[in-house]
Amino acid sequence: MYKREEDKLTEYKHSFDDINVPLDLLDDAILSGFQKAKGEKAGKPQKRRMLFSFMAAAILFLGFFTSIKLSPAFASYVAVIPGMEKVIELIRGDKGRMLAIENDYYQEIGVSQEKNGLEITIDGAIADENGLVLFYSVESDKKQKEVILEEAGLFDQNGQKLNWSSASIGTHHSSQEGETFYNGSLEYFFDTPLQQKDFELKLKVKSDQQNADYHFSFTLNKDIKAKKTYEINKTLSIEGQKVTFVEADIYPLRVAVHVRMDPANSKKLLNFDDIRLVDENGDVWNKINNGVFASRISENEAILYLQSNYFKNPEKLYLEVNKIQAIDKSDTFVVVDTEKEEFVKQPSGNQLYEFKVEENYLLFKLQTKEEFTAFPFGAITDGNGKEMRPTQTEMVNHEGEVELRVLIPDLENVTSPINLELSFFPTWIEGKERVRIK
């Protein structure tokens, strides 16, 4: 009867095992909080919901007591705040955000709007000078196979749209059988420090039964913590390719590491696949694994984003670099002739080994010996140098073979050859380099 709760507890344990938190036991106050926790399913009779909450709380308490080491702050959040376990599901892969919750940096919001039986709640937020992450939940009185957040505009209290440098706002929830509950997060990051306290959020939501607009007003009440900046200015050489680490800005949501690549490098460095923060105790904070993990400033300059150690205060902090996607600068473009259906140019090694045109799709096959999940193509131009925007890209992995699909509207009228710039590619340089930040 309670297998679902036990399975989720096991999942939480795996995420907590990677987090260095103080050792403490849970006491009767925590159990009391669990007893008050809200049941997961909406619309149940109140008496039954209270009974379910009590018994689920007892199971969770025993599991936490015997197998998971939690600080009192973290445990109280899970126990007392309704729906907090759903937020933890979303962020359990991000050590920095888990630490933000443990250190009482999560802000409960709890504003809702309901239309035709579909209620959306903005549950809470984590905010810093650089970004804002909103956690939301969707509850429906009928099972929904699809709930799509097509637009998510963020505005100030005067209705002026806020300009963000990057965002993760398009969300597609789906279930073959249909569900009455979904949840997720919206992320906004800014070039200038976030000073707003009052916000408006406007959503366009598509579901099985309706297309509707939702509007929320909310205020952040907690003070936004200032970033910590560490000057680095140290250069590493990995397989002859030089990288200078300029500085690191540490925010509660993420760490931004400013890097410069030597223009004299023979290779273009595409992506820092294996880079991490490590303190003197061996605690590790990896790259952002779900969201924006890098942004380009120029051809030879970028910002890399890692999970945050903001709420730790180590005596020593290092940046370790082990593996970088890199390609010869002469191989940074793939050129294809759409009339002859053949490669005009591609990187050496012939890892791209098949190309064809099917209706409005460019179809490729790519071989890789190692796991590769990043879509390789960036900017696309036609034979006249005109930039084209694909309306759809797909990537399917088959154990060493990757199928790539690029949908170009009205492809038959596009001037050949087509040039595709490589933003990612499965070739690497490797080393074991370390730079001290603190």
Q: Is residue 363 part of a domain?
A: yes
Averaged over 179-203, what is the pLDDT? 93
Residue pLDDT, tens place only, 365-377: 999 988 888 999 9
Tell whether the model's pLDDT for residue 119 goes beyond 50.
yes
- Same structural domain for residues 432 and 310? yes
Dihedral sign (CA 212, 202, 110, 122) = positive
- Same structural domain for residues 311 and 432? yes
CB proximity list for 14: less than 8 A, separation 6 or greater: none
Residue that is last in its domain, among 46, 68, 93:
93
What was the pLDDT predicted at 87?
Answer: 83
Number of domains in the chain: 4
Instruction: At 122, list the tokens.
Output: 């903005």
Segments in 37-166 forming alpha helices (H): 46-67, 72-80, 84-91, 95-102
Q: Is residue 18 part of a domain?
A: yes
Tell whether the model's pLDDT for residue 19 goes beyond 50.
no
Instruction: At 342, list the tokens.
Output: 């053949």
Distance CA 41, CA 45 (A): 10
Instruction: At 337, list the tokens.
Output: 């002739």
- Same structural domain for residues 82 and 173? no
Residue pLDDT, tens place only, 405-416: 999 999 999 999
CATH number for 244: 2.60.40.1640
- Whole-model pTM: value is 0.79
- Same structural domain for residues 128 and 268? no
- Same structural domain for residues 86 and 170? no
Nearest in space to 156 (alpha carbons), one of 111, 200, 204? 200
Q: Which H helix or E strand runs over 427?
A: none
* DSSP-based three-state secondary structure for 331: helix
What was the pLDDT predicted at 66?
Answer: 32
Please provide residue 397's backbone torsions phi and psi, each rounded to the nearest 5 degrees: -95, 135
Tell whether the model's pLDDT for residue 82 goes beyond 50.
yes
Please count the other Cβ atoms lying within 10 Å of the Cβ belonging to residue 395. Answer: 17
CA distance to 27, 329, 380, per residue, from 300 (Å): 54, 12, 20
- Among 26-30, 233-237, 415-419, which is the least confidently predicted range? 26-30
CATH number for 361: 2.40.10
Tell whether the model's pLDDT for residue 275 goes beyond 70.
yes
Residue 395 near residue 403, CB atoms below 8 Å? yes
Tell whether the model's pLDDT for residue 36 goes beyond 50.
no
- Same structural domain for residues 113 and 247? no
Tell whether the model's pLDDT for residue 102 goes beyond 50.
yes
Q: Is residue 343 part of a domain?
A: yes
CB proximity list for 160: less than 8 A, separation 6 or greater: none
Residue 269 near residue 243, CB atoms below 8 Å? yes
DSSP summary character for residue 161: B
Tell whether the model's pLDDT for residue 37 goes beyond 50.
no
Cis amide leading into 417 (omega within 30): yes
CA-derived radius of gyration, the chain: 24
Q: Give the domain range for residue 255.
A: 228-325+428-436
Tell whether the model's pLDDT for residue 269 goes beyond 60.
yes
Residue pLDDT, tens place only, 200-248: 999 999 999 899 999 999 999 999 999 999 999 999 999 999 999 999 9
Q: Is residue 38 part of a domain?
A: yes
- Same structural domain for residues 14 and 85? yes
Residue that is last in its domain, among 196, 224, 252:
224
Angle of helix 72-80 versus helix 84-91 axis, rounded to 10 = 120
- Same structural domain for residues 339 and 258? no
Residue that is last in its domain, among 185, 205, 224:
224
Q: Is residue 101 part of a domain?
A: no
- Same structural domain for residues 287 and 341? no
Percentage helix, strand, coil for the chain under 3-state DSSP, each rounded to 5: 20, 50, 35
Averaged over 97-123, what is the pLDDT? 94
Q: Is residue 99 part of a domain?
A: no
Angle of helix 46-67 versus helix 28-36 axis, rounded to 10 = 150
Q: Is residue 214 part of a domain?
A: yes
Tell whether the model's pLDDT for residue 33 goes beyond 70.
no
List, as one string, the DSSP characters of 362-415.
Answer: EEEEEE-SS---S--EEEEE-TTS-EE--SEEEEEEETTEEEEEEE-TTGGGSP
